[in-house]
Amino acid sequence: CVPLELLVSTPGEGSVEAGSVGGAVLIALVYSLVCLVGLGGNSMVIFVILRHARMRTATNLYILNLAVADELLLLSVPFLVTAALLRHWPFGAALCRLLLSLDALNMFTSVYGLTVLSVDRYVAVVHPLRAARLRRPRVAKLVSLAVWALALLVMLPIAVLARTAANRDGTVACNVLMPEPARSWLVGFALYTCLLGFVLPVGAIGLCYALILAKLRGVALRAGWQQRRRSERKITVMVVSVVSVFVLCWMPFYVVQLVSVFAGRGDATVSQLAVILGYANSCANPILYGFLSEPFKRSFQRLLCAAASRPGGSGDDPAGPPARLELPGDVFQASRIVFMCN
């Protein structure tokens, strides 16, 4: 069997150098930082969308879908940290298969969720008359379920091929392992994951924004469009930013995999950095929402202020409960006010 470090890179053959204790500790620290920031940020996103009815718009439900996928992906990080420190996989074959399967499921869910989010932007901008019917929360929930179902179907080969294997030095690695003829399977599997997990979704996303740009240019001077254009533009800028960061974080991962497969060689350090960068994408989205979306920014501010004002982290605010949060749903405010805790 030939190991393909597709989703989880565990120390061992083709991974972290066995003698690099300092490197393993550094990787563990980076993974831990990504995990803490990502879990905290995505938990806030999930909370504010579920807590406030006005935040449960179609667009925000797709964002909720992304946050759930990122949250589940980050739950595997403690196992990665342990494996990095021990420099082998100590959790057995069953947990190896489960974690690789969940990682694949959430990775595909993220990219398909971004694709749906881009289609949502396309409908809102290019077909505004249909938007009221197609962009209802009920429709968004059904589409989100379909996204998870599609991701589950696409990740099945990874669930089948994930397993543990012994390295030459006697340590155990958790990887996706190719059956014989290994070379043919490796090439086919790399193309399969790259096309379905990156190239096709990103191509569809690019097409959506090309059509959006053409629409905005074509109707920019029409009466009554300017105000609506400003509103839709702010939402679109946030979604484009999220998509761009996703591409920047995951493109190196797929490039490294393809170079490793077709060139027959790869650098362990570069491969590990590419994997870490992919995981780092899961903690980037909440930061983008906080900077680019005024509703998310306000709700994050209220949430953090409420948590800070509770003695011992629990109980009610002694100054009284915060005012009911009224948010304009998808609409972003133009101002960049820095809200301070009272």
On the question of pLDDT at 120 being above 60, the answer is yes
Residues 272/32, Cβ–Cβ less than 8 Å: no
Helix (H) or strand (E) holding 3: strand 2-4
Q: Is 295 within 8 Å of 332 (Cβ atoms)?
A: yes
Q: Is residue 14 part of a domain?
A: no
Q: What is the CATH number of the domain that holds 67?
A: 1.20.1070.10
How far separated are the first and last CA of the chain, in Å rounded?
A: 61
Domain of residue 131: give its range.
Answer: 22-220+227-302
User: Which residue is listed with tokens 């004002």?
Assistant: 309
Answer whether residue 333 is part of any domain. Answer: no
Q: What is the pLDDT of residue 20?
A: 66
Note whether residue 329 is domain-resident: no
CA atoms of 303 and 253, how far apart (whole Å): 35
Q: Is residue 69 domain-resident?
A: yes
- Tell me, yes or no, whether 148 lies in a domain: yes
* Prediction pTM value: 0.79
pLDDT for residue 224: 52
CA distance 41 to 253: 23
Instruction: Provide the β-strand partners of residue 172.
Output: 166
CA distance 221 to 236: 19
Residue 16 lies in a domain: no
Q: Is the pLDDT of residue 272 over 60?
A: yes
For residue 46, what pLDDT band results from cuts at 50, 70 and 90? very high
The dihedral over CA atoms of 129, 134, 140, 141, expressed in degrees to the nearest 10, equals: 140
Q: Is residue 340 part of a domain?
A: no
Number of domains observed in the structure of the chain: 1
Q: What is the pLDDT of residue 175?
A: 87
Q: What percent of the chain has pLDDT over 70?
A: 80
pLDDT at residue 156 tops 90: yes
Residue 242 lies in a domain: yes
pLDDT (0 to 100) of residue 255: 92
| Cis bond before residue 311 (omega within 30° of 0) | no
Structure-model confidence comparison of residues 306 and 1, the more confident one: 306
